Amino acid sequence: MQQMAAIICKNLSCGYHGRTVLTGVDLEVNPGEIAVLLGPNGSGKSTLLKTIVGEIQPLSGELSICGKAARDLSARDRAKSAAFVPSEERTEFPFLAREIVAMGRIPHAEGLYDSEEDRQSTQEALTKTECEEFADRPITNLSAGEKQRVLIARALAQQSPIMLLDEPTSHLDPGHQVSFVVLMRQLAQSGLAMLIALHDLNLAAHLATKAVLISRGNISISGTPEEVLQSSKLDDAYSAKFERIKGPDGITRLSPKFV
């Protein structure tokens, strides 16, 4: 029996206060898939993620999540279906990192989110993201990279079948970028559907099972990472020329040509 798609966008238009950012978005993300959004700054990657998670409403078109029309989902049901890791989040209050991660359990709680299941999910998320060593430190005292890992852990604790991540590796050092790729692959193998916005094209080549290039307000090309990274549409989207080198592992690596 064919598996139900986790996210379906049909002719979706997104934007803010009547200002259209994206039009005609047709996109499907399935369980076990890692779809990576590529595109230059301001192309609409974050806008699409925020529309899917419900932070902003679609301007037109259709959006379904786990087989249900997004417009029919309550905020709690949306949170149970999709966890979101923003590119950055203001942290004005000195909550402990452990407390921030535990907040991912709110959609599942009827009262205080302090059941045995909540505690176990929180601890597992801290372990998987290598946050245990600073779990009891205030979030305001952590580095940008440590905060980013806490936000990823919070999304894991939410235990939703979909994860949406906006530039999740922007503050991570190389070692933790590798750990992130390994973790995302493990989550995909367990059946999660992931949609991730990335700037790092070479990281996308290692991570993605599907690549989606957004340019000039719509999807320019979608396909395998190899198809998208080899396409001249990528050079056009970034207004740059890339040298493409295929490594012994068969993965294409890109390097911008400096004139």
User: Does domain 7-256 fall into CATH 3.40.50.720?
Assistant: no
Q: Does 255 score more than 50 pLDDT?
A: yes
Q: What is the pLDDT confidence band of residue 227, given thresholds at 50, 70 and 90?
A: very high
Residue 132's DSSP bridge partners are none
Strand 60-65 to 68-69 pairing? antiparallel
d(CA 169, CA 199) in angstroms, rounded, equals: 9
Lowest mean pLDDT among 4-13, 103-112, 114-123: 103-112
Q: Tokens at residue 224, please?
A: 């395998």
Q: Where are the beta strands (DSSP E) in the chain?
A: 7-16, 19-29, 34-38, 60-65, 68-69, 82-85, 162-166, 193-197, 210-215, 218-223, 242-246, 252-256
HSE-up of residue 45 (Cα within 13 Å, Cβ side): 25
Question: Residue 196, SS3?
Answer: strand
pLDDT score for 1: 47
Rounded distance, CA 258 to CA 95, Å?
45
Confirm if 242 and 254 have CB atoms less than 8 A apart. yes
> End-to-end CA distance of the chain, in Å?
53
Q: How many CA atoms lie within 13 A of 3 on its CB side?
A: 12
Amino acid identity, position 88:
E
Distance of CA 245 to the CA centre of its chain: 27
Could you report the per-residue pLDDT of 68-98, keeping only the tens digit for each? Answer: 999 999 999 999 999 999 988 887 789 999 9
Whole-model pTM: value is 0.92
41, 33, 156: which is closest to 87 by C-alpha?
41
pLDDT, mean over the chain:
92
* pLDDT surpasses 90 at 113: no
Percent of the chain past pLDDT 90, that is, above it, reads: 82
Alpha carbon distance 8, 82 (integer Å):
13
Between 9-23, 113-127, 172-186, the lowest mean confidence (pLDDT) is in 113-127
Q: What is the pLDDT of residues 131-182, one digit of tens each?
A: 999 999 999 999 999 999 999 999 999 999 999 999 999 889 999 999 999 9
Q: Cβ distance 241 to 234 under 8 Å?
A: no
pLDDT interval class at 2 (50, 70, 90): low
What would the mean pLDDT of 191-220 be, rounded to a whole number?
95
Mean pLDDT, residues 241-254 taken together = 90
| Integer Cα distance of 105 and 119 in angstroms | 9
Q: How many residues are recorded in the chain?
A: 259
Nearest-angstrom CA–CA distance, 43 and 40? 6
